[in-house]
Amino acid sequence: MLKIKRVYEAAESSDGQRFLVERLWPRGMKKAALKMDAWLKDVAPSADLRRWFGHDPLKWDEFQQRYRAELDSNAAAWAPILHAAQQGDVTLLYSAHDTEHNNALTLMSYLEQHIAASGA
């Protein structure tokens, strides 16, 4: 099962494997303080896409389309998450303040579609 969680929330045993899915390290977070299994920078939106989006909810639909296109062309970046999800629970960690418009939501939806398509 895939879940998302802000990096500032406490880790729980039910999180399973935890992957940071941000290109930049979360502000104010010490590396030793974040319980995670891997930091997958390359699965995050490109710097250009991130700057264009700017966390503007009015750009949300277009952001999702552009980000999914980036994911389509970079399967190697998200393959570790897909593999982990086939083994057990996975939590995608993000740092955005907006819990309704962030890359982790789009990534989770994208991966759920791949899991469903593979019949896993």
Q: What is the pLDDT of residue 109?
A: 97
pLDDT of residue 18: 98
Burial (CB count within 10 angstroms: exposed 0-12, middle 13-18, buried 19+), residue 23:
middle
Per-residue pLDDT tens, the chain, 120 aa: give them: 999 999 999 999 999 999 999 999 999 999 999 999 999 999 999 999 999 999 999 999 999 999 999 999 999 999 999 999 999 999 999 999 999 999 999 999 999 999 888 765
Using DSSP, how many helices (H) and how many strands (E) does the chain show? Answer: 4, 4
